[in-house]
Chains A and B, each alone.
Chain A
Amino acid sequence: MRLKCAEKLAALCLSAAMAVSVSACSGGNMYASSNDSSSIADNDVITIGSVTTNSGSAAAYGESEVNGFRLAIKEINENGGIFGKQVRLESMDDKGDVIEASNAFNRLAGEKNVIAVLGPTISSTSGAVAPLADQNQMPSIAPAATADSVETGGYLFRTCFKDSYQGQIAAKYAAENLKVNKVAVLYGTGDPYSSGVGKAFVAAAKKAGLQVVAEENSSSTDDTEYSSQLQKIEASGAEFLYAPYYYSAVGPYIVPQARAVGYDGYIMGPDGYDGLKTTGNKARYDKVLYTTHYSPDDKSNKKVQQFIKSYKDANDGESPNTFTALGYDSVYMFKQAIEQAGENATRADIRNAIAGMHFSGVTGEFTLDKQGSPEEIGHRAGDEERLADLQRHHPTGQVGRIP
């Protein structure tokens, strides 16, 4: 009995303390914004943070982005920096994990000299960071987070185009350039990227008057065996297969397996095909195409050839990929924004300069949306304008072929 009493006593004390603390304090609030960041004028160097995926399964993308950041920053510093100040990169790894990404982003946001953040790399971490960017009022550019569900337009922007846009240009390309009729689609439902692009393609294909004869799924994008679905696609008489997967699944599995079951039509995909390595008989990859943000064959754009040359010089002749190009452009977007915002620019000034900026880089020429103050974050129509712009400059986007 005595024990019960003591328990009750202790419980009472604690619950009283709890109630008081919960009702009285605001310090536990995770979401109060902090406005105490410094301006560029307060520091001798300009520090830009980055949160990228440098380990785990998406490490290849993050590493490529960081290479792009480094190259751009090196170039900027060699050419006198921004307002005569050198630029420094503070790079952090998020392992592709949302918690790690949030912690790393909060940490960068807490460092007063960090004026802007590059990243995150993948869509899931970007989705978690988007509200943090708004809350910390930290201007951020995700180079390659393509998912439609990533909420951009507040303090987070992106350099790449959206998933739905990739699906649309692929459908347009199939209808207008390849002039096919029957199309099939295969995507991994477990992966936001794969299913997002795949569904956008289906919708756009129907709109473009194409006949979608097969719509197949896999449970993840890490599967190794797609023959069963491909066999059905082959049997459906499709002439064009849209398979939004990563290069790791397309190169060794999907293309050879599709050819093995007798499918010999086009296979097209999104920017995830970049970096694809062929296996065995090269002829199997002849009709493989993908939409990309940047094409090394783009001879009309002088910046592209310059970028490829300086990247190769800095990296023992290795070629840059899409992610490097997007990372490279993202740094220059910040440079342009900082220069526009002036020598006393704060984080908020930089954000306002990015919103609505017109930019021309190795991934093309485009305009970001003009979003107002952070109070109006609810309205995020911006990406449509970006889309229209891209279409103006690259009527079919950029379509790459497997080298």
Chain B
Amino acid sequence: MKKSMLSIKQSYLVCAIGVAVLFGLLMAVCETGAASLYVKGIIMTCCIAVIMTTSLNLTIGVLGQLTLGCCGFEAIGAYSAALLSKLLVANGVQMDATLRFLLVTFAGGVIACVFGILVGIPALRLHGDYLAIITLGFGEIIRVIIQNLKVAGGKGLSEGQQGQALIGIDRLANLYVVFWITVVTVVLLFMFARSRYGRAVKAIRDDEIAAGASGINITHLKVMVFAISAFFAGIAGGIFAQYIGALTPSMAGWLQSINYVIMVVFGGMGSLTGSIVAAVGLTILPELLRAFSEYRMLVYSVVLVLIMVFRPQGIFGNWEFSLPKLVNRLFYPSRVKDPGESGAATESDAVVGRAAESADDKETKA
């Protein structure tokens, strides 16, 4: 491994400064009025997409299991947060709007997480294609159940109407708060991916049987990753509900989930920074190209096929952008010993992946 030119403490500081600068920029555009409601709306959508994509990448990229049901959990989080918020108001609980927002969003995440565990325990006995299909099935079931719940339609709770959109949700999402939730999400996911657990999860991705033989509790870790993904999907859902103010069950459909899968793949499976770039890019790009919006999905699908053919691990692969590394390279260029080490890492990872895949092939054939 390379020696960092900055100490670890300094590295963290550099990251913190990076985030602070980003926040400063956000504040600057918002406070000076340079950002219209439209721009703020797009930033908000970006934040939601970043949370969804990075958390989904934990399952797809880090654990190496394709799920097509992430929007089911997003919907659970969204509906839970919306109904809870309504419940608090209906019971006359007085609290600060931001506090209420944080509380119900967190609760939405927890409820989604519980469902994630309930779904994950049986589903994760399967892997590969079957897991993808079963999560798709769970997502569809969640959608059908929500659309048949009386409390989850119309004005909600006791005034609910089955089959209607859930409306009149208090729109409490504040851009600054959402920004920080996004930052915390990404930091937590990074910490998880680099922790002891994260390394074990990557071992499962690369070779499940070998990992199991090395004493890793596979089921436990898989369910844990699945639950974490579901938790953050629920958080994203909670924010979505309190930003948009009206919910329809179709948000849980698998076609919505595929949108986020596309973002993960574009960004690179296993690269959280790649996910961030892809989530932001693919949210802003259609806005810039509104004139061509009819062909957006057509272009996506062509690019997706091309990526799969020419770069199966996604654009970033599992290379992570790192601010401290960049600083090192800029300020201590002579002392960076191994230029292109990131490329080499990707390459070797791909080799490992291929080996794991051929092992996979053998086991299914047997």
A contact residues vs B (CB 8 Å cutoff)? 2-3, 5-7, 9-10, 13-14, 17-18, 21-22, 25, 27-31, 34, 54-55, 92-93, 95, 98-100, 102-104, 106-107, 109-110, 123-124, 127-128, 130-131, 135-136, 147-149, 151, 189-192, 194-196, 199, 219
Set of chain A residues within 8 Å of B45, measured between Cβ atoms: 99, 103
Q: A103-B45, A109-B37 are in contact. Are A191 and B163 (CB under 8 A)?
A: yes
Residue of B nearest to A106 (CB): B38
Q: A27-B30, A110-B38, A124-B246 are in contact. Are A22 and B98 (CB under 8 A)?
A: yes
Measured CA separation A44–B104 after assembly (Å)? 48
Measured CA separation A219–B141 after assembly (Å)? 11
Smallest CB separation, A155 vs chain B (Å): 14
B319 within 8 A of A: no
Cβ contact within 8 Å between A30 and B36: no
Measured CA separation A200–B217 after assembly (Å)? 55
Smallest CB separation, A338 vs chain B (Å): 24
Measured CA separation A18–B98 after assembly (Å)? 13
Measured CA separation A54–B293 after assembly (Å)? 10
**Inter-chain residue pair count (beta carbon < 8 A):** 159
Cβ contact within 8 Å between A30 and B12: no
Question: Which of B16, B244, B250 makes the CB contact (< 8 A) with A13?
Answer: B16
Question: Which of A18, A191, A195 makes the CB contact (< 8 A) with B180?
Answer: A18
Measured CA separation A147–B167 after assembly (Å)? 12
Could you list some 10 contacts between A and B, CB below 8 A? A10-B12, A22-B174, A22-B180, A27-B27, A93-B293, A103-B41, A109-B37, A127-B246, A128-B245, A128-B246
Q: A22-B174, A127-B167, A127-B246 are in contact. Are A34 and B9 (CB under 8 A)?
A: no
B179 within 8 A of A: yes
Set of chain A residues within 8 Å of B20, measured between Cβ atoms: 13-14, 17
Q: A13-B16, A54-B294 are in contact. Are A28 and B174 (CB under 8 A)?
A: yes
Contacting residues of chain B (20-52) with chain A, CB-CB under 8 angstroms: 20, 23, 27, 30-31, 36-42, 44-45
Measured CA separation A103–B147 after assembly (Å)? 25
B contact residues vs A (CB 8 Å cutoff)? 8-9, 11-13, 15-16, 19-20, 23, 27, 30-31, 36-42, 44-45, 98, 143-144, 147-148, 153-155, 161-165, 167-168, 171, 173-180, 183, 187, 191, 243-246, 248-250, 286-287, 290, 293-294
Question: Which of A27, A100, A131, A194 makes the CB contact (< 8 A) with B176?
Answer: A27
Cβ contact within 8 Å between A107 and B38: yes
Measured CA separation A18–B22 after assembly (Å)? 13
Cβ contact within 8 Å between B244 and A102: yes
Q: A14-B183, A22-B176, A103-B38 are in contact. Are A192 and B163 (CB under 8 A)?
A: yes
Measured CA separation A106–B45 after assembly (Å)? 13
Set of chain A residues within 8 Å of B176, measured between Cβ atoms: 21-22, 25, 27-28
Set of chain A residues within 8 Å of B162, measured between Cβ atoms: 189, 195
Smallest CB separation, B240 vs chain A (Å): 8
